């Protein structure tokens, strides 16, 4: 029982990080119907910001988190303005290729600065509570709680505020909404800022939970988060959160009850089956193609 509970905690931790990154994919897709493949690398940049702020400026946890989020959000907006905006009218494939290019640029830029894996110093003193054979670390609790709080704030922003309404409206119809006086460019920038900022936050938390970071860390995590977004129904904010927790749970629980060698094989087969049953993802709705 304690074993199961421990694994469930592990799954929650991994899942909340996947969910935070998946949100970035899904928000950008929702508003631009474009997959921002540079998102995994923006997440990596978030972890490196965390490293720089913590090591060279010796900031404590809260300013490090906020500044990293801000830094990545600014970077996200700049990338959107420079790389994606000129291609907004171009075919989607061009924008996706550009996104891949931006991702490669970020990776190799970081690589050029220093190829060595970096160690993020412990920003918070970690205590481990033992309850019977169950071990709960304060870090684990923090990662889960902080991700949930960020997701709740996002949900509030998207569902209850005017800017959120504008985001949803743009993702609904891109020709009529601007005519209603919605500042499309500003809203798109805001979406990028929020989406990549969350990716930056995920980078910081990932760096705290797994404190060895390298320029390639965003690739695999980015792919997995993209899968989460698709499984949850890409374009749907709540779907991305659910997708993140599903992938986290599947990965951890498969390794917990099967030989760990089969983990990726079983995990991704399960996700494939899920997509066969619900091709638009769990919360996604089929969109008829307009001809």
Partner 1 sequence: MRKTYIWIALLVIGSLCIFGCAKKDSDAVRIGVIAELTGDIPAVGASCKNAAELAVREINDGGGILLGDKKYPVELIIEDNAGKADQSASSAQKLITQQKVTAIVGPNASRYALPAAEIAESGKTVLITPWSTAPKATLNSKTNASKQYVFRACFIDPFQGGVIAKFTLDNLKLKKTAVLYDVASEYNKGIAEIFREVYEKNGGAIVAFETYTTNDKDFSSQLTKIKKANPDIIFLPNYYSEVPLQIQQAKRLGITVPFIGSDSWGSEELLKLCGKECEGYYFSTHYAADSASDATKKFIEAYKAKYGTTPDDVAALTYDSFGLLLQAIKTAGKNDRQAVRDALAKIPLYQGVTGSMQFKEGSGDPIKSAVILQIKDGKFAWFADAKP
Contact at 8 Å (CB) between 232 and 277?
no
In angstroms, rounded to a whole number, what is the distance separating the alpha carbons of residues 104 and 282?
31
Among 60, 128, 159, 269, binds partner 1 (CB under 8 A): 128
CA 215 to the chain's CA centroid: 17
Cβ proximity to partner 1, 261 vs 289, nearer residue: 261
- Token pair, residue 57, equals 């400026």
Question: Which lies closer to partner 1 via its Cβ, residue 80 or residue 107?
Answer: 107
Cβ of 209: how many Cβ atoms within 10 Å?
17
Query: Cα–chain-centroid distance for residue 233?
Result: 14
Q: Which residue from 1, 91, 160, 260 is in contact with partner 1, where contact means CB under 8 A?
A: 260
- What is the C-alpha separation between 192 and 189, in angstroms, rounded? 5
- Element at 131 (helix H, strand E): strand 128-131
Smallest gap, in angstroms, from Cβ of residue 209 to partner 1? 8
Tokens for 115, please give them: 């190829």
Site string for partner 1, 136-165 (x = CB under 8 A): -x-xx-------------------------
Residue 94 in the binding site for partner 1 (CB under 8 A)? no
| Cα 235 to Cα 287: distance, rounded to the nearest angstrom | 11
Say how far apart CA 259 and CA 199 lie, in whole Å.
32
In 102-115, which positions are buried (b, 16+ CB within 10 angstroms) versus exposed (e)?
bbeebbeebeeeee
Among 1, 160, 180, 261, binds partner 1 (CB under 8 A): 261
Does residue 86 bind partner 1 (CB under 8 A)? no
Q: Which candidate, 227, 209, 207, places its Cα nearest to that of 26? A: 227
Tell me how far, at minimum, the Cβ of 129 lies from partner 1, in Å.
9
Answer yes or no whether residue 251 interacts with partner 1 by CB under 8 A.
Answer: yes
Site map (CB under 8 A) of partner 1, residues 173-212, x = contact: ---------------------------------x--xxxx
* Minimum distance, C-beta of residue 214 to partner 1, in the bound complex (Å): 7
Among 57, 220, 272, 273, indicate the residue that binds partner 1 (CB under 8 A).
220
Can you give the binding site for partner 1, defined by CB under 8 A?
Answer: 3, 6-7, 10-11, 13-14, 111, 115-117, 119, 126, 128, 130, 133, 135, 137, 139-140, 206, 209-212, 214, 216-217, 219-221, 251-253, 255-256, 259-261, 263-264
């Amino acid at each position: 029982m304690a074993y199961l509970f421990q694994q469930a905690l592990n799954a929650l931790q991994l899942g909340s990080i996947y969910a935070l990154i998946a949100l970035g994919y899904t928000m950008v897709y929702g508003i631009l119907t474009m997959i921002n493949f540079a998102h995994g690398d923006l997440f990596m940049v978030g972890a490196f910001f965390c490293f720089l702020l913590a090591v060279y400026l010796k900031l404590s946890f809260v300013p490090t988190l906020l500044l990293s989020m801000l830094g990545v959000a600014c970077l996200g907006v700049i990338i959107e303005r420079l790389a994606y905006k000129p291609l907004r009218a171009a075919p989607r494939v061009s924008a996706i290729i550009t996104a891949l290019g931006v991702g490669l640029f970020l990776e190799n830029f970081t690589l050029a600065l220093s190829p060595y894996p970096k160690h993020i110093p412990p920003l918070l003193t970690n205590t481990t509570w033992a309850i019977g054979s169950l071990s709960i670390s304060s870090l684990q609790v923090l990662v889960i709680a902080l991700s949930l709080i960020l997701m709740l704030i996002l949900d509030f922003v998207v569902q209850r505020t005017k800017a959120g309404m504008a985001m949803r409206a743009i993702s609904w119809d891109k020709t009529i909404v601007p005519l209603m006086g919605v500042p499309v460019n500003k809203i798109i920038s805001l979406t990028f800022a929020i989406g990549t900022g969350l990716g930056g936050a995920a980078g910081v938390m990932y760096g705290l939970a797994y404190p060895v970071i390298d320029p390639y860390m965003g690739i695999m995590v980015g792919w997995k988060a993209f899968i989460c977004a698709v499984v949850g129904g890409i374009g749907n904010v709540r779907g991305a959160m659910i997708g993140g927790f599903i992938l986290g749970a599947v990965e951890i629980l498969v390794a917990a009850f099967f030989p760990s060698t089969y983990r990726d094989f079983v995990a991704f087969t399960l996700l494939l089956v899920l997509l066969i049953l619900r091709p638009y993802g769990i919360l996604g709705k089929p969109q008829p193609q307009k001809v």
